[in-house]
């Protein structure tokens, strides 16, 4: 026998279920008085540096029906391209920007909304700059393991063209599924879980 590596197995994922809001956005779910505010309800304050933007969209199933019980989390760099994380060793991120937020899709319309700032560029593993992007994680009833994707910006055409991640997507028609339409302050990013317009999801 060779030596054991001694590794453990990661705990297997299970669906977040239809009542994920009880645990992750209890005030939004009508369970008041336990937490002052829902975690991740805001990611900016008056002093946050950078250009304010709003992102809205829906998560659609294989029939095009919006999910009214999904929950999204986003993670992004600050305006200077630094992450508010202990693993960020390149410098100190904007202390007035958390970089992380969560939002449940609306129970009637299926819309989600994030008020944030446009992120700066951060380097790929080999040092080349990636285009500005926001990491997105989606959980819901019927999703057994959270889905990871990225949102890029339609008005960053030059940066997107040299982005090392987008460049590796073989089927070029699918790159557009990662690019949020809109310019200025409002971007629209619909996520298609399945079918012809299926969003590119990542194994990260």
Partner 1 sequence: MSDLPNRKPETGAFFARDRLWHPPGLTPGYKTSVLRSPQKALFSLDGTISEITGPVFGHSILGELDNDLIHNFAKPGESAIGERIIVHGRVLDERARPMPGALLEFWQANAGGRYRHKKESYLAPLDPNFGGCGRAITDADGHYAFRTVKPGPYPWPNGVNDWRPAHIHFSVFGHGFAQRLITQMYFEGDPMIWKCPIVQTIPDKAAVEQLVAALDWGNTIPMDARAYKFDIVLRGRRSTLFENRMEGN
Distance CA(21)–CA(38), nearest Å, equals: 10
68 CB contacts (<8 Å, ≥6 apart)?
A: 105, 106, 107, 108, 109, 110
Q: How far is the CB of 176 from partner 1 (least distance, A)?
A: 14
Q: Which stretch binds partner 1 (CB under 8 A): 21-29, 44-52, 154-162, 181-189?
A: 21-29
- Looking only at residues 40 through 59 of this chain, which bind partner 1 when binding is defined by CB under 8 A? none
Number of chain residues interacting with partner 1 (CB under 8 A): 85
The verdict on 201 binding partner 1 (CB under 8 A) reads yes
Distance CA(150)–CA(74), nearest Å, equals: 9
Q: How far is the CB of 92 from partner 1 (least distance, A)?
A: 12
Q: Which of 79, 96, 142, 154 binds partner 1 (CB under 8 A)?
A: 142
Distance CA(164)–CA(14), nearest Å, equals: 32
- Looking only at residues 181 through 200 of this chain, which bind partner 1 when binding is defined by CB under 8 A? 193-195, 198-200
Nearer to partner 1 (CB atom), residue 35 or residue 186: 35
| 132 burial type by CB count under 10 A (0-12 exposed, 13-18 middle, 19+ buried) | buried
The verdict on 2 binding partner 1 (CB under 8 A) reads no
């Amino acid at each position: 026998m060779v030596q054991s590596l001694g590794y453990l197995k990661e705990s297997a994922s299970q669906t977040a279920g239809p009542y994920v809001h009880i645990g992750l956005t209890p005030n939004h779910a009508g369970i008041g008085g336990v937490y002052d505010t829902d975690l991740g309800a805001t990611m900016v304050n008056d002093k946050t540096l950078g250009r304010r933007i709003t992102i809205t969209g829906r998560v659609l199933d294989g029939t095009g029906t919006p999910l009214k019980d999904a929950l999204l989390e986003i993670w992004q760099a600050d305006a200077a391209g630094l992450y508010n994380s202990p693993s960020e060793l390149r410098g100190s991120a904007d202390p007035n920007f958390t970089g992380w937020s969560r939002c449940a899709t609306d129970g009637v319309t299926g819309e989600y909304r994030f008020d944030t700032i446009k992120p700066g560029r951060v380097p790929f593993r080999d040092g080349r700059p990636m285009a500005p992007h926001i990491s997105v994680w989606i959980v819901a009833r019927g999703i057994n393991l959270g889905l990871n994707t990225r949102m890029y910006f339609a008005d960053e055409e030059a940066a997107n063209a040299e982005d090392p991640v987008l460049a590796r997507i073989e089927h070029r028609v699918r790159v557009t599924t990662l690019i949020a339409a809109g310019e200025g302050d409002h971007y629209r990013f619909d996520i298609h879980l399945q079918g012809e317009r299926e969003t590119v999801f990542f194994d990260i």
